[in-house]
Every structure is written in C-alpha cells, then in structure tokens.
Amino acid sequence: MAKEIWLNLPVKNIQKSKEFFTNLGFTFNDKHTTEGSACMVIGDKNVVIMLFTEPMFAGFIKTTETQIGQNEILISFSADSKAEVDAYALKAEQAGGTIFGQPATVQGWMYGCGFADIDGHKWNILYMDMEAMAKK
C-alpha cells in the first residue's frame, strides 16, 4: 500500500516559484531539493508537492516541453477561517499570482478563493464551516 503521495508540477523557474510559495507561507525541504527541483511541504500531514523545471518534468512524463499541459488538477487546501482565506488571496496576488475566483461563500457553508500561481497552476483555498454544513 502506498505510504505517501507526491504531487508533481512543472515550473519555468525554480527560484521564482520558491519565492512565490514562500511568500504564501509554504516551506521547503532542502534535503529533497536540487538545481532542477524543489520539495514544497504543505500542512500538518506534510503533503509534498515537487516543483520541477519544465525540461526535467517533460523527461519524467516522456514528452516535450511544448506538450506539457497545465491545470489538469485543482489543488485545494484548507484554511482555519474566512480571514485566512482573504489573507491568502492577498498574499497570492502580491506575490505575482492571479485571482480567478474572488473570496466568496459557496453552497452556504464553504468560503473560498481560487488563484493561479506564477506558472498558471490553479489553487483553491477553502474554509469549511462544518456547523453550517450540518444544517444543509
């Protein structure tokens, strides 16, 4: 049985991507970082997202750099409050990202925001009000 999962994303520039995500408050495991990759760690369960230069990523999936697609997945992560969602939206925009979904309430019990990082990968941050969900 699988013990861990790593999400792998192609990026144009490792250093710029590390700066972007560091500005959002994410951390990196330098032990698993190379010239062409960076190991980003998210959350209490230490979910790993590996950032790879496009040439390195293309080699893994046996394709050319021009064939690398973006946004095959939407990466979502949790927030502890609506204020934290708003803070992430501001940080993402200030770090050079693009907001594609302004912070808003969804389905009456979730409050979220969608942003694209500097390479166009889409992210979603959600605060889930479980008490409000139970009332639905």
pTM: 0.84
Percent of the chain with pLDDT over 90: 62
* In the predicted structure, residue 43 carries a pLDDT above the cut 70: yes
Over residues 25-35, the pLDDT tens digits come to 999 999 988 88
* In the predicted structure, residue 52 carries a pLDDT above the cut 70: yes
Residues 13-25 have a mean pLDDT of: 96
β-sheet bridge partners, residue 49: 7, 40
As a three-state string, the secondary structure of the chain is: CCCCCEEEEEECCHHHHHHHHHHCCCEECHHHCECCEEEEEECCCCEEEEEEEHHHHHHHCCCCHHHCCCCCCCEEEECCCHHHHHHHHHHHHHCCCEEEEEEEEECCCEEEEEEECCCCCEEEEEEECHHHHHCC
pLDDT at 27: 95
* In the predicted structure, residue 20 carries a pLDDT above the cut 70: yes
